[in-house]
C-alpha cells in the first residue's frame, strides 16, 4: 500500500483544493492530510475563517481523503512521515524546495496549483 501525505490549512475550501487532493490521491492508495490547527495558524500570524473542526469535517467528507491529522508544528513532518509509513509527500508547487529535507525519508513531489484560484484571492475579493 502506497501512502501519500500532504498538509494545508484548507480554509475557504475551493475547487483548487479539491483538484490538489484528487491528484495527490492518484499517487497512492491512502491519502493523509495534515490540517493546520487554529493554534498553529495563530502562531504563524494567520486566522482561519472556519475552525479546525469545521475544516476537518470538510476534508473527512471528501472521498479522496482517508485520514486527517492535526498539524501542530512545522517540525512534526519527519515524525508524521515515519509514524504513518509515508511513501510520497506532496505539496503545491508554491512550496517548491521547502520540504526537500524529507527526501531522506520518502519521495517528495510538488504539484502545480490550479491557476486563478486561491484562498487568498477569495479573501481579497470578499473584502472589496
46, 57, 98, 123: the catalytic one is: 46
Cα–Cα distance for residue pair 99/38, rounded to 1 Å: 22
| 44 has catalytic annotation | yes
Beginning with the edge strand found earlier in the chain, give each strand of the sheet holding 88-92 in spatial order.
67-71, 30-36, 3-8, 88-92, 107-111
H or E stretch covering 83:
helix 77-83
44, 57, 98, 123: the catalytic one is: 44
| 98 has catalytic annotation | no
Mind telling me the catalytic residues? 44, 46
Amino acid at each position: 500500500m502506497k501512502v501519500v501525505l500532504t498538509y494545508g490549512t484548507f480554509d475557504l475550501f475551493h475547487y483548487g483544493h479539491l483538484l490538489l487532493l484528487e491528484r495527490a490521491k492518484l499517487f497512492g492508495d491512502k491519502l493523509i492530510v495534515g490540517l493546520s490547527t487554529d493554534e498553529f495558524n495563530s502562531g504563524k500570524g494567520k486566522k482561519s475563517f472556519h475552525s479546525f473542526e469545521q475544516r476537518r469535517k470538510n476534508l473527512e467528507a471528501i472521498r479522496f481523503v482517508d485520514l486527517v491529522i492535526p498539524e501542530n508544528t512545522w517540525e512534526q513532518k519527519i515524525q508524521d512521515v515515519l509514524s504513518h509509513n509515508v511513501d510520497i509527500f506532496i505539496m503545491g508547487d508554491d512550496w517548491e524546495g521547502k520540504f526537500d529535507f524529507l527526501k531522506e525519508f520518502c519521495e517528495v513531489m510538488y504539484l502545480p496549483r490550479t491557476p486563478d484560484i486561491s484562498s487568498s484571492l477569495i479573501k481579497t475579493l470578499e473584502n472589496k
